[in-house]
Structure 1
Amino acid sequence: MPSAYLRRTGAGGHILHQNGDVSTAPTTPRTRSERLDALPFTKAHGRLLVGSGVGWALDAMDVGLVSFVLAQLAVQWQLGNTELSWIASAGFLGMAIGATLGGLLADRVGRRHVFAITLLVFGIATGASALAWGLGVLIVLRFVVGLGLGAELPVASTLMSEFAPPRIRGRIIVFLEAFWAIGWIAAALIGYLVVPTSDDGWRWALAIGALPAVYAAIVRTRLPESVRFLESRGRHREAETVVREFEASAGVAHPEPAGDTTTDTPVSAGLSAGERLRGLWVPTHRRDTGSLWIVWFCVNFSYYGAFIWIPTILVASGFSLVRSFGFTLIITLAQIPGYAVSAWLIEAWGRKQTLATFLAGSAVSAVLFGTATTEPTIIVFGMCLSFCNLGAWGALYATTPELYPTALRATGAGWAAGIGRIASIIAPLSVPVLLLAGQALLFSVFAAFFVVAAVAALFLSDMRGRSLD
């Protein structure tokens, strides 16, 4: 453009000449990502949120059921704490491998397909676990369950983050994570109502956990693929179809013409797995990746170390199986307001501030719960721990996929989750050893991990209100 002209960059595409005359020039069409980002939250977004969220809730139900199953198996199979730890840790080992592989696959073959496959894997394996006749078989099946479960969570949050409007993206991901509370409450209800009814109560509980296998068939056909992923693979017609569906849901009668961008231009599978992993550590992402891995590791250690063992610890403290399950159910209910507060703060205050605050609250609550000896204090401080810890989880899942570009997003989220699962393997194995020194020391260790996570969270980038790319 010659210097005699000054371009006005408004939506009308006007050019203002020095003599005051105005002419019209065609504007550059917005990209599909920009068109998606400009939409309000629509029914299409709602269907995607619920579709992903139900899968998330079923995951949580499976993980939560383990804590109740362990409590009964300790009595029925006469298992010691070390053997019980291996049952829990086998699942988390599978989750660590599943998260890392699932993220890599999602960046290569697509988010939706990996999401559906993982639901199918852990749903079938959970149902098979109900038929386990011995400790060794149960450990193997829990490992397979973990493979599916570990891959699903980061993929679901990545898919949802790539559709959510930027101004409320963090809040939407916290709402997605809030489905975890629904699943955990369902697990607590099953644990309270089903597990104690008979010696085979734990088998019936795991059989109910096989529901994801049915749900997987629905997910595969109804959830859209990520527009950003489709474009990265040159599948422009599919991407345009998805964008127009969301625009129609928002009442946009005449979407902007896509021009020749609707023509498919197939590209290769993109970066190799090794290149994606190295991409997480280039200077642009190095600080975020390092800080993120620390947060994920520490939060997983404290969360799974505490919540998987709470029912068993309460039984060992002298409470009956039914009573300890009832306490756990009440404590679990506090997760819902924790998510609600996190969802509000993450947009009003920011990502890392919200995450660090909830982690600090988790540290204080862990110390208080570790010293609780009466029923009221156990319930109150347990609810505080549940409130703060799950609020932190919501903020963490909202923050994680935002830190990477499309080509690395699922890989980055998957590997952060995978590193975290290493801690979830170590934590259940550490609990029996730490318990020898007393419950207060055990939860003080959990508190220390929360503090480290809170500090690391302050070094993360904050993408509040910004486009993913």
Structure 2
Amino acid sequence: MHRRIKMSISQRIEKLPVKRFHYILLISAGLGWMFDSMDTGIISFVLPVLMKTWGLTPEQVGNIGSVGLLGMALGAILSGSVADRIGRKKVFAFTLVVYSLATGLCGLAWSYASLLFFRFLVGFGLGGQLPVAVTLVSEFTPAKHRGKFLVLLESFWAIGWLLASVISYLIIPNYGWHIAFFIGAIPALYVFYLWKYIPESPRFLEEQGRIQEAEAVYRLIAGEAGPDVKAGRTAEEAKREHRQPQKGTAKTKVLKRVTVAELFSRKFLRRTVFLWLLWFGIVYSYYGIFTWLPSILALKGFSLTKSFSYVIIMTLAQIPGYFSAAFLVDRIGRKPTLAAFVLGTAISAYFFGLGNSVAMILVFGSLMSFFNLGAWGILYTYTPELYPTRARGTGAGWAAGFGRIGGILAPMVVGRMLGAEMPTETVFLMFAGVLILVVFNVLILGEETKGRPMDEL
């Protein structure tokens, strides 16, 4: 019994079996993830319409995609650092409201310049939420099941993109592109549920020295009241008790927060370089390919309705991609699973670019979605496992932020390649080459984290 009292809250979380709370958290955070994806997907379907309605050039379309990624880069960097100071939950809720309302404002855009500004705000909120959301879920989940849970969290992205596909297919041709953006503002209402039912990370609370609050959250997860926790105490009571320390209670040591410079210290250098290169390559390929996908299909001669329906089919392939990655990531490990899925994306992208028939486009487009989104699930599993709690938000945020530079560049690069009348084969050959380099990065610099406690360095 004495040994259990001495064990930290983080250590106890690692030893927990999966509880009902973990599934509730997965679904709750997953809905936020789904709304992220829906807002990201809507712009991809609006762009080919705006090309015709506003007479936009391919370069301008690329700029619309890139400005959102610029916002995502700044949002990821700032939110990660702020989350390590004020908590994961507050940043998660704030960024949800920002990107939802900004998506609604996109529906009011009256010009190319105004849409650029609103897309920047959308990107800022989206970029801020994604690394914070995955950090929050990872800190609640025990090591044995963390990979599966984080890949399943990422699988909600496919559902959101599918929603965007269906909304665009049904709404844009009949009611116009403005309505699609207005629907994207609805997720702002979800913040009320989020604030009430998702607690703050107990690992974060413990690092802050807020032990009583951390104990209250741990008891909520585990459904137990141990000898070091007063039965029946609420989180609010725990806060009041923390503000008024009891006589004779020892002070808890609060670890110093990591600085950005420390991410490049000898302790973290290899992991930081690995993650930054990994994020850059995967984000570059994803946003370069999928932001342009409906437009590329339209340029190949398909009608907007056909293009949207084909993208829906490709999007459906993302779901088994996530589930297969979730199955493998805790069995054979993060490193081999990620390398295999990135390689599969590279091969599929190459043959998709060569596609000259509906069957070839659908088959290799679906395989590209299957492997690429599975790789994203593993990416979000891998990232928080490579930094300790005090550095997790900052490390994940800066990795995601640097990766968004790839996302900023990719839509512009594709826009200029298409504007120069380069064939789509060349565009997808370029993406295949980038992804092959990502595979080498994983094999050379990656390290296996399967089953390892999150704060074990």
Does residue 442 of structure 2 align to residue 457 of structure 1?
Answer: yes
Does residue 427 of structure 2 align to residue 442 of structure 1?
Answer: yes
* Corresponding residue of 1:19: none
Q: Could you tell me how far 1:80 is from its partner in structure 2?
A: 1.1
The worse-fitting range, judged by mean Cα deviation, of 290-299 and 79-88 is 79-88
* Corresponding residue of 1:366: 349
**Cα deviation per residue 1:383-424 (whole Å; 9 max; x = unaligned)?**
010000001001110000000001100111111110111110
1:31-430 equivalence runs, <5 A: 31-198=8-175, 201-248=176-223, 252=224, 254-258=225-229, 264=242, 271=256, 275-430=258-413
Q: Could you tell me how far 1:291 is from its partner in structure 2?
A: 1.0
Root-mean-square deviation (CA, aligned residues, Å) is: 1.8
CA contact (8 A) 1:122 1:212 kept: no
Name the SS for the 1:174 alignment partner.
Answer: helix
When the two structures are superposed, what TM-score results if normalisation uses the length of structure 2? 0.92
The worse-fitting range, judged by mean Cα deviation, of 453-462 and 362-371 is 453-462
Does residue 452 of structure 2 align to residue 466 of structure 1?
Answer: yes
CA contact (8 A) 1:102 1:151 kept: yes
Name the SS for the 1:284 alignment partner.
Answer: coil
Name the SS for the 1:280 alignment partner.
Answer: helix
Name the SS for the 1:79 alignment partner.
Answer: coil
Q: Could you tell me how far 1:165 is from its partner in structure 2?
A: 1.4
Q: Could you tell me how far 1:257 is from its partner in structure 2?
A: 2.3
CA contact (8 A) 1:123 1:211 kept: yes
CA contact (8 A) 2:58 2:416 kept: no
Mapped partners of 1:216, 1:271: distance in 2: 31
The letter for the 2-side match of 1:220 is W
CA contact (8 A) 1:29 1:257 kept: no
- Give 4+ residue runs of structure 1 displaced > 3 Å after superposition: 26-29, 262-272
CA contact (8 A) 2:271 2:386 kept: yes
Name the SS for the 2:382 alignment partner.
Answer: helix
CA contact (8 A) 1:94 1:143 kept: yes
Mapped partners of 1:208, 1:40: distance in 2: 39
* Corresponding residue of 1:17: none
**Cα deviation per residue 1:320-349 (whole Å; 9 max; x = unaligned)?**
110010001101110000001100110110
Q: Could you tell me how far 1:309 is from its partner in structure 2?
A: 0.4
Q: Could you tell me how far 1:52 is from its partner in structure 2?
A: 0.7
The letter for the 2-side match of 1:285 is F
Name the SS for the 1:404 alignment partner.
Answer: coil
Mapped partners of 1:310, 1:374: distance in 2: 16
Mapped partners of 2:378, 2:357: distance in 1: 32
Mapped partners of 1:240, 1:268: distance in 2: 16
The letter for the 2-side match of 1:454 is V
**Cα deviation per residue 1:409-453 (whole Å; 9 max; x = unaligned)?**
011111111011111010010002223221111001101111111
Q: Could you tell me how far 1:29 is from its partner in structure 2?
A: 3.4
* Corresponding residue of 2:416: 433
Name the SS for the 2:140 alignment partner.
Answer: coil
Q: Which consecutive residues of structure 2, in runs of 5 or more, have no partner in the other structure?
A: 231-237, 246-250
The letter for the 1-side match of 2:447 is S
The letter for the 1-side match of 2:157 is W
Mapped partners of 1:60, 1:408: distance in 2: 26
Q: Could you tell me how far 1:143 is from its partner in structure 2?
A: 0.3
Mapped partners of 2:405, 2:27: distance in 1: 29
Q: Could you tell me how far 1:110 is from its partner in structure 2?
A: 0.2
Give the structure with the larger helix fraction.
Answer: 2
CA contact (8 A) 1:100 1:417 kept: yes
CA contact (8 A) 2:68 2:123 kept: yes
Q: Could you tell me how far 1:255 is from its partner in structure 2?
A: 2.5
Mapped partners of 1:268, 1:125: distance in 2: 41
**Cα deviation per residue 1:244-276 (whole Å; 9 max; x = unaligned)?**
11111xxx4x425259xx87378899646xx52
CA distance 1:237–1:306, shift in 2 (3 Å): same
CA contact (8 A) 1:338 1:388 kept: yes
**Cα deviation per residue 1:148-173 (whole Å; 9 max; x = unaligned)?**
00010000000000011110101100
State percent identity of aligned pairs. Answer: 45
When the two structures are superposed, what TM-score results if normalisation uses the length of structure 1? 0.90
Name the SS for the 1:304 alignment partner.
Answer: helix
Residue correspondences, number: 436
CA contact (8 A) 1:301 1:423 kept: yes
Q: Which consecutive residues of structure 1, in runs of 5 or more, have no partner in the other structure?
A: 1-11, 14-25
The letter for the 2-side match of 1:372 is G
Mapped partners of 2:435, 2:156: distance in 1: 23
Q: Could you tell me how far 1:58 is from its partner in structure 2?
A: 0.3
Mapped partners of 1:321, 1:76: distance in 2: 13
**Cα deviation per residue 1:341-389 (whole Å; 9 max; x = unaligned)?**
1001101100111111100111100100000010000000000100000
The letter for the 2-side match of 1:440 is E
Name the SS for the 1:255 alignment partner.
Answer: coil
